[in-house]
Amino acid sequence: MSDAKTAISPTRSENFPEWYQQVIRGADLAENSETRGCMVIKPWGYGIWELIQQQLDRRFKATGHQNAYFPLLIPLSYLEKEAEHAEGFATECAVVTHHRLETVKDPVTGKTKMIPSGKLDEPYVIRPTSETIIGAAFARWVNSYRDLPLLINQWANVMRWEMRPRMFLRTAEFLWQEGHTAHETKEEAIVETRLIHGEYEAFLRDHLAIPVIPGEKTENERFPGAEMTLTVEAMVQDKKAIQAGTSHYLGQNFSRAQDIKFTGRDGSIQHVHTTSWGVSTRMIGTLIMAHSDDDGLILPPRVATQQIVIIPVTPKEDTKDAVIDACQALATTLRNQSYYGDPLRVHVDTRDVGGGVKKWDWVKKGVPIRIEIGPRDLESRKVALSRRDQASNEKSFIEKEEFIRNVAETLASIHQTLLLRATDLRDANITYCGDMASFDAHWANENAGWLLTPWMGNSTEEEVISKQHKITIRCLPLPEVVFPQAPASAPCILTNANTTQFALWGRSY
């Protein structure tokens, strides 16, 4: 163990996976459930998800999308209509085969047992994703080109039977949004796919302070049944990648399988072009791994369950009421201000526990701003300000009116600090590589960063390399993404054919 005193043990450098679990526990975000592979998201963690949901939902609605809800159970025959899609999720599906339970007594022990009864004529799959069931609805809703585009989003839970669960990153049941749209032409559908891809990139940067590399997945890594998958890839502090969001152009594969047809402008019967796209509670796991330190969680202000916590310092009983009143008055004043259009979220901690306990509770929970007010501060009209993007013991004493006046700027500064810190880490750990010898040597380090290589290899060659080093091509970065360390074109590291296409390789969660 480290000699340094930190609130979280082990530290990131000692055991990153265990550190991650301890950050979750220390911040009281979630806990493992009795249901294997599932988690209970506790109020502080669910508050983060609610803010992500609310803010992302506004962005979707601003681009013309509407919310709807579709069944949790999908008839097995629906999945069978789209073979490639079904095969891609087959090993992760939970299947419902009976519709009731009966009680029976064990003849040996005398104990009552519940056994499944009433076998279904057709099994149902608990949705691993909803393309097929939503496609069936679209087939009913679309008749003419006048019904298009159809822009639908669903906030829901899904289940994918996860063999190696990790809270927020991989759980059997998780929360997400899944967008599904239908379009008259391929061109319109691809515009939609790219639009949402850009929304995800902007949301991660502007709301979560996470810089991502936008790009396209290779054929090996595409969503099952898609013709094109766009991704945003985030690097976390152990230099591994997390796929933080994906947007898929599905072509007419699902519309043909689900018979989603319309009468075109020329009177001909055509199949729609569809897209799907989604992000999940995995965003919270990404946020934890991207920003947190050895004292606990660090939250970007826009998605902090509470943005400011005010701690009354009351060493003497005769000044306690005055101090608490001053704290509550400051909280009321702050709540009348806004940050990015939302009222400031402010909490006054009046618990009957020591000040040190309060401080470390809020440090571990990642609150962006911590304010302390004591009896002497009432006289000086100052507050003690601590920022979570700075050392946990660092504080500054500033005029209360100055703090009130500049609070939005302080929150923006915290966001910018986190974004720059994460960007510097990412950029320092993306290395250009132009030959296979250097490529092979790079992956000897378990915590190796990403490699950027010229790439013209095929799917089989990609799979061989991926298995050899336990890595994947995270994406083929979009042409507009600039890597100063890379040339405009170069020979492919495998085929030696000159190319302007580059691949970003890394280990991932």
C-alpha span between 55 and 60 (Å, rounded): 9
Helix/strand/coil for 191: helix
C-alpha span between 75 and 123 (Å, rounded): 6
Please answer whether residues 368 and 411 qualify as being in contact, where contact means their C-beta atoms are separated by less than 8 angstroms. Answer: yes
Count CB neighbours of 15 within 10 A. 14
State in words which class domain 16-93+128-291 has: alpha beta
Q: Which residue has the tokens 């929150």?
A: 411
pLDDT in tens, the chain (509 residues): 344 589 999 999 999 999 999 999 999 999 999 999 999 999 999 999 999 999 999 999 999 999 999 999 999 999 888 777 778 888 899 999 999 999 999 888 889 999 999 999 999 999 999 999 999 999 999 999 999 999 999 999 999 998 889 999 999 999 999 999 999 999 999 999 999 999 999 999 999 999 999 999 999 999 999 999 999 999 999 999 999 999 999 999 999 999 999 999 999 999 999 999 999 999 999 999 999 999 999 999 999 999 999 999 998 888 899 999 999 999 999 999 999 999 999 999 999 999 999 999 999 999 999 999 999 999 999 999 999 999 999 999 999 999 999 999 999 999 999 999 999 999 999 999 999 999 999 999 988 999 999 999 999 999 999 999 999 999 999 999 999 999 999 999 999 999 999 999 999 99
C-alpha span between 10 and 19 (Å, rounded): 5
Helix residue ranges, H only, 351-491: 355-365, 375-380, 400-428, 436-442, 459-469
C-alpha span between 124 and 128 (Å, rounded): 12
Name the DSSP letter for residue 170. Answer: B
Domain limits, CATH 3.40.50.800, in the chain: 302-426
Angle between helices 400-428 and 282-291 (to 10 degrees): 90
For residue 59, the one-letter residue type is R
Domain 302-426 indexed as CATH 3.40.50.800: yes
For residue 190, the one-letter residue type is I
Which of 196, 177, 183, 176 is closest to 254 using CA atoms? 183
C-alpha span between 299 and 29 (Å, rounded): 12
Count CB neighbours of 461 within 10 A. 14
Please answer whether residues 188 and 273 qualify as being in contact, where contact means their C-beta atoms are separated by less than 8 angstroms. Answer: yes
pTM above 0.75, yes or no: yes
Question: Using alpha carbons only, what angle is made at residue 363 by residues 362 and 369, rounded to the nearest 5 degrees?
Answer: 75
For residue 173, the one-letter residue type is E
C-alpha span between 305 and 413 (Å, rounded): 18
Which are the contacts of 246, defined by CB distance < 8 A and separation ≥ 6? 217, 223, 229, 230, 231, 232, 277, 278
Considering Cα of 398, then 399, then 403, then 406, what sign does the dihedral take?
negative
pLDDT number for residue 258: 93
Structure tokens at 287: 């946020």
Q: How many helices (H) and strands (E) does the chain have?
A: 14, 27
Domain limits, CATH 3.30.110.30, in the chain: 430-506
Count CB neighbours of 113 within 10 A. 11
Which of 194, 331, 330 is closest to 249 using CA atoms? 194
C-alpha span between 505 and 509 (Å, rounded): 13
Please answer whether residues 225 and 250 qualify as being in contact, where contact means their C-beta atoms are separated by less than 8 angstroms. Answer: yes
C-alpha span between 284 and 269 (Å, rounded): 44
Question: What are the backbone angles phi and psi of residue 379, rounded to the nearest 5°?
Answer: -75, -40
**Thinking of the domain 430-506, which architecture would CATH place it in?**
2-Layer Sandwich (3.30)
For 167, the enclosing helix (H) or strand (E) is none
Domain limits, CATH 3.30.930.10, in the chain: 16-93+128-291
Backbone region of residue 208 per phi and psi (left: phi > 0; alpha: psi in -120 to 50; beta: other values):
alpha
